Each structure stands twice: as C-alpha cells, then as structure tokens.
Chains A and B, each alone.
Chain A
Amino acid sequence: MFGYPLVNVLGACLIITSMMVVLARAGRTAAWLYSLQSLVLVGVLASLGFVTGSGELFTWSATAFATKVVLVPAILLYALKKIGDDAQADLPPKLNPMKSVALVAVEVFVCFVAVSGIDLPTAAEVKPTLAVSLAHFFIGLTCIVTQRSIFKQIFGYCLMENGSHVSLALLAPEAPELVEIGVATDAIFAVIILAVLVVRMARYAHTLDADDLCELKG
C-alpha cells in the first residue's frame, strides 16, 4: 500500500474531492472542500517525496499546505464575507449534479486513455495519477463553464492549478525550488486577484451571475 500505489490511491482521492468541490451548493462549503482536496494534494506530494527520495517534494508539500490548505480557502472565505448576501454567490450551476458527474467521468476516462499512450520513464509508475492531474484541467474547465456564480468559477481555476501542481511534481520532481515557488506564488496572486474582482463586481455591478455578464458581445 506504500510507495507508488499510495500515490495512485491519493490521486483517486483527488478526483473524488474535486467532484465534491464542483457539486458543492454553497460557496463556503466549496471553500472547505477545496481545503480538503488540497490536503490530499499535500499527501500526494509528500508520498511522492518518500518514493522518489526528492527533498524538493517535501518542501513543496509544506508550501502547498501553507498556500492551498490554509491561505487560498482563507482568502476565498474572506471574499465571501466581504460580498455579503446580496450578490448571489451561491447560485446553482447550469448543469444538474448527475450530468456534471457524467461529464467528469467522461473527462477522466478520456484522460486515462490519452495518458496510456505516453511513454515517459519519469511517469511510468504514476500514470493513473498523471491521468488524474490532466483530468483536473478539464474538471476545472467544466467548473468554470458550468457554474453560474462567478465566485464558484474561481474554484474551477483552483482545480486547474492543483492539476498543474501535481503534474509538476510527477513530471519535474527535480525542478529547481524557485520554479515551484514561482508557480505557487503565481497561483496565490491569481486567487487574490480573482477574489478582489468578484468583490468589486458585487459592489459595483451588484451581481455575480455569469448570465448577467454578457453585455460585451460580438
């Protein structure tokens, strides 16, 4: 159960937790579930560190804990508090839960098929997790496209970003520390900027409904 199988089991947990983030009705619940997902991500990074003996991955797991498990959810919960109740941050998604689950299942299947054709020694033992990380791009994209609340769309970006992080760890465990810091810092700034933009949208436009934000067309 230890070694690469553990990495792959945690990879499967990433899919389950990301599904929960996509399906969460309330923004607050989604933030907590995202924190849980990031905890699983920290587990993936740490177990990969044990397996590969890469010291960098332990540092990555520590920074991921600080940024993704604590900081990002805190920023999003703070933004939710600033938004208040007027701006409909908890709007339901455009797709019902069953359709969302079916769509994600198709995406995961396609990613598994795509990754099975990749012949890369670095990722030979962790192909299921690599497929999961690739699937996170599409699950994140699905979240962005299907959510009506632009606040919840932020979680779509966060899921894509978690996918990037896992891919980085799987494909480039020996990458310089500064690279990981660059990617993580970038993600934090992106979430802060998205959150500020959502708060401004609520304050100045009094809506967080993506369907209301279609005046610029053509």
Chain B
Amino acid sequence: MDYSTLLIIMLGCPLAAALLIAVLPSRSVPQGIYAAIHLVSLAGVAVAGLALVASVFFGADVFALGGWFHLDGLSALFLGLIAVIAPCTGVYSLPYVAHDVADGRLGPSQVKQYYAFFSLFVFSMILAVTSNNIIMMWVSVEATTLSTVFLVGVYRTKLALEAAWKYVIVCTAGVAFGLFGTLLVYANAADVMADAHQAVFWTAILPNASLLDPSLMMIAFVFAAIGFGTKAGLFPMHTWLPDAHSEAPSPVSALLSGVLLKCAILIVLRFYILTAANVGPDFPQMVMMILGVLSVAYAAFEVYRQGDLKRKLAYSSCENVGLIAVCLGLGGPLGIIAALVHCVAHGLTKALMFCLAGNVMMKYHTRDLGRIGGLLKAAPVTGVLFVAGCLALAGFPPFALFVSEMAMILAGVAADCWWAVVLVLAALVVVIMALVRMIAGSCLGRVPEGVSRGDVGVLALVPEAVLLALVVMLGVALPGPLASSIEDATAIVMNCESACEGASLFDDALAALADDPAKPEEVLL
C-alpha cells in the first residue's frame, strides 16, 4: 500500500465512523456499539497516522488526490500530535462518558452525539493539517468549529449552550477574516503564475512567492493571523477559549487544547512562510511578536486569578499559544525550533492535564479549586499524575516544556530581544506561582467531607500515564527521528531546505549563539 492511500485511509476512518454512528438509531443501539466503532476508527487513525509520520521522518513527501493533500515534515509533526492525542483522549472518553451517563448528565442521544461528533472533529483536524489547497485549509478550520459546537454544548445546560454559542459565533466570524486573507493570496498568485489553477496549492505558490505583490501579502498575512489566530486562541481574539474549554467534556477539552489550537497555528505558519518568502521574515515576525506578547502577558495573570480548574488550564493554553507566537516572533532557527517543540510539548502536556481535570471532576463533582483538596489521599494515582502534570506545565525539568522554554530563552538571547525575554520570564514566574499554588491547594491538605477514597478506574488512568511518559521522554532526550523531523520542519518554515542541505540546524543555531547572535539568520537565509 502506498502512502497516498494510507493518507486517504487515515482521513476515511473517522469520517466513516462519524457517518456510521450518525445513522444508527440512538434508542435501540447499545452504547457499547458506538464505543466500539469509536475505538476501531481511532485505532485506524493511530496506526495510519504513525506510519505516515514515520515515513515522512524517513524522507517521504506524501501527496494525495491530485495534490489536494500533502504531508511534509512540518505537517507530519502536527499529524503525529493527532495520531497520539486523539486515541488517548478517545480511550479516556469511554470511562468519562460512562460516568456522565451514570450521573444522569448524558442520555442515549447525547452519547451518540458525543461519539459521532468526536470522530468528525478528528476527521476535520486531519483535513486541516494535510490540506495543500489553501481554500480547503480554511474550509477545514471552519469544519473543526462546526464539528465541535455540539461537543462543547453536549450537556445542554444554559452555561454549556452559552459557551457553544460564543464559540461558534466568535470562531466563524474570526475565521471569515482568514478566508479573506486566503483569497488575497490566491488572487495574487493566480495573477503571476502561468497556470492559475495551480494557485490554490500551497506547494505551488511557495516557489512563486517572491513574485507576489508585497503589500497584498502583508494585508493577507494580517487577515490570516487574525482569522486563524482566533482559532488558535491568541489575545484579543481568545474570548471563546476559556468558555468552550471549561464547559466541554474533559476529553474534548483535551483535544481542543492539545491539538486544535496547534492545527490553527500550523495554518498561520503556512501563511507566515509565504509572507516571509515574499517580504522577508521581519513583517510576519513583528505581527506574531505583538500577538504573542499580548497573549502571554494577559493570560499569565488570568491563570493565576482563576478559581476554576478548567478555566485555569484554558488560560494556560492561551498563554502557551502566546509563547509559540513569541517564538515565531523571535524567528531564526532557534526560535522556530522552540515554537515547534513547544507545539508538541504543550499539546501532550495539556491533553494530560485536561484528562486529569476530568478525573478530579469525576472524584469531587466540581471544578471549583476552593472545594478540591487532598487529591493525593483521595485518589493517589491521579494525585501523583496531577502533581507531575502541573510541574510539567510550569516548565520544570525533566519535562518537555522545559526544553522548548529554554530554547525560547536562547532564541531571545540570540535575537538580542531582551525585552521579550524579560517579559516572558516574568509571565512564566506568575504561571509557576499559579500552578504551585494549585498543587498545594488541591493535592495536599484534607479531603473534603463526602468525597470517598479510592482512585478512578484503570481506563481513566492509562491514557494519562502514556501522555506523561511521552512528556518525560521528550524532556529527557528528543528521539533522533523526531529531532531530525523538527529540523526538517524548521527548514520548511525558514524556506531554506536547499541552503541547509547536510547541515544541522540545531548545531548551527547553538554554535551561532556562542559566536554571533546574527549569524544563524545570515547563514540560513
């Protein structure tokens, strides 16, 4: 079987599962059938996804359906996130949904709705990261919104519906700006390219990027950054994020925060690459730096202020997306490497934390941190994982976020951008204070009355254990293929594949840091 077919199979698995679940009658079909279809489709996603990612890591460049879909070193990183996090959160959904059914929060039709839209959500994210057609990229980002609305509002309470409404209206309106940016790029490319029909393909536009009109490209990038930045949760377009993340079921929050935000970042990156190839990196870096610094500065204090566990984690997502934008704003090989490693590290860590938040909610029946205490006594395994997850999120070694945050600081030093380094460090200190306070308040102390002792089921712990193991593994040492794939992805972002042939971006970046801060850009661009 060739890789193009495998990519189609990967797209087909969750779509077929969603359609199959949708046509089954909710009253007469046992919920186990939905769960089985859900698991089979996610197994397909995991196997096909990891095989595709491995093939790209070893040098393949996969195209499918006449160039409409494309998997390169950059999108492979994000596809890898989907292939790992979607099955983990999918497995975690089984005990979580069963608990909600037992609690009377979900009825048969809502269970069916949950599994159907979960599969559709996974499908739309795979579509977003593998689309090579720039207009289809927009359609797929819009599809991620439409497929998750009913997941956010699945509980049908006033608050859940309010969150769903804000989510859909803010994101569809925001992403409409992304479409305008996309159309400007297309129209611009169609004018300069010999075959106008090729102007919808990102891989066809890139070699011609230097011929495009610079002022139009700058306008298009601003529209794209605003439009897709809305979906990524960048300040000030982030308003949907804390509401949707807090009201959605925890596995959905994990998928939203762990993967969806990164898919939107990938689309922004695609426009970043085109714009940088046209007008140079300074303009897109400036836009990303402004959005990133505002997001980090605002969200760090919100992380500290929140008394609701899931809202705290949601603002932390906003802060981390801001950090990714700051890394892109710093630019250079180190900045890009930091951004990509942070995407992967934060995706895994936040999926872990939202699943653990689900365990806490199953145990305490609340998200109010004032009413959560003694987690280490009440649910020891969840407690230990929770402490480790909080430390990972705070960026302590030996966890993966330490690596990316350290790289970001080095990128700031290399770029001689001290004000950004100081600001980011200050924000990180605030976040560390918030998370340490959460550990002290929730994990230590007395167990509130009415909370029984004993952990949640094994099925609700295994996905978190897997995610934590990956977070530690990436923090201790990036596996060779992953490190080289991050280098490949960085080369794509810096649009310098031919210039970097045979060289190691890691080594160049670090050597340049020691010698001359300006050297990496000179060497690579």
Contacts and interface: CB of A to CB of B under 8 A. Distances in A.
Given A171-B183, A183-B135, A193 B158 contact: no
Contact of A171 (B187, B247, B302, B311): B187
Nearest to B311: A218
Contacts of B169: 144, 150, 153, 157, 194
Contact of A179 (B136, B166, B168): B136
B104 to A, nearest CB: 15
B172 A168 contact: no
B57 interface: no
B153 interface: yes
Interface stretch (A8-16, A75-83, A133-141): A133-141
A52 interface: no
Contacts of A141: 173
Contact of B156 (A144, A179, A186, A200): A200
B216 A189 contact: no
B165 interface: yes
A188 B402 CA distance: 44
Contacts of A1: none
A215 to B, nearest CB: 6
Contacts of A117: 215
Interface in B211-262: 213, 215-216, 219, 242-243, 246-247
Given A117-B215, A122-B187, A140-B173, A167 B180 contact: yes
A2 interface: no
B162 interface: yes
Interface stretch (B189-197, B323-331, B499-507): B189-197
Given A123-B187, A164-B180, A118 B216 contact: yes
A117 B214 CA distance: 13
Given A171-B183, A216-B163, A216-B246, A120 B191 contact: yes
A182 B136 contact: yes
A167 B183 contact: yes
Interface stretch (B11-19, B139-147, B479-487): B139-147
A146 to B, nearest CB: 13
Contacts of A168: 135, 179, 183
Main DSSP-derived SS at the A contact region: helix
B247 to A, nearest CB: 7
A83 B302 CA distance: 37
Contacts of A140: 173, 176
A212 to B, nearest CB: 9
A140 B168 CA distance: 15
A62 interface: no
Nearest to A121: B191
A196 B164 CA distance: 11
A82 B410 CA distance: 59
A137 B177 contact: yes
B93 interface: no
A174 B190 contact: yes
A123 B216 CA distance: 12
B278 interface: no
A216 B157 CA distance: 12
Interface in A130-186: 134, 137, 140-141, 144, 150, 153, 156-157, 160-161, 163-164, 167-168, 171-172, 174-176, 179, 182-183, 186
A213 interface: yes
Interface in A60-100: none
A17 B191 CA distance: 32
Contacts of B153: 197, 200
A106 interface: no
B4 interface: no
Contacts of B306: 218
Given A167-B180, A197-B149, A204-B156, A186 B213 contact: no
B161 A171 contact: no
A183 B140 CA distance: 10
A122 B191 contact: yes
B138 to A, nearest CB: 8
B37 interface: no
Interface in A110-126: 117-123
A153 B172 CA distance: 12
Contact of B173 (A123, A157, A167): A157
Contacts of B69: none
B188 A179 contact: no
B158 A119 contact: no
B133 interface: yes
Interface in B69-113: none
A204 B155 CA distance: 11
B166 A216 contact: yes
A218 B146 CA distance: 25
Given A137-B176, A140-B173, A213 B162 contact: yes
Nearest to B143: A186
A193 B149 CA distance: 8
B149 A120 contact: no
A20 interface: no
A175 B186 contact: yes
A213 B146 CA distance: 20
A199 to B, nearest CB: 11
B162 A215 contact: yes
A193 B247 CA distance: 18
B200 interface: yes
Given A200-B156, A204-B161, A120 B216 contact: yes
Contact of B196 (A134, A157, A174, A204): A174
16 contacts: A118-B219, A120-B191, A157-B169, A164-B180, A167-B179, A174-B197, A175-B186, A179-B139, A190-B142, A193-B168, A204-B158, A213-B158, A213-B166, A216-B159, A216-B246, A218-B305
Closest 5 A/B residue pairs (Cβ): A171-B187, A205-B158, A182-B139, A216-B243, A213-B162
Given A120-B191, A171-B186, A174-B196, 6 more contacts: A119-B215, A120-B216, A141-B173, A182-B139, A193-B168, A197-B164
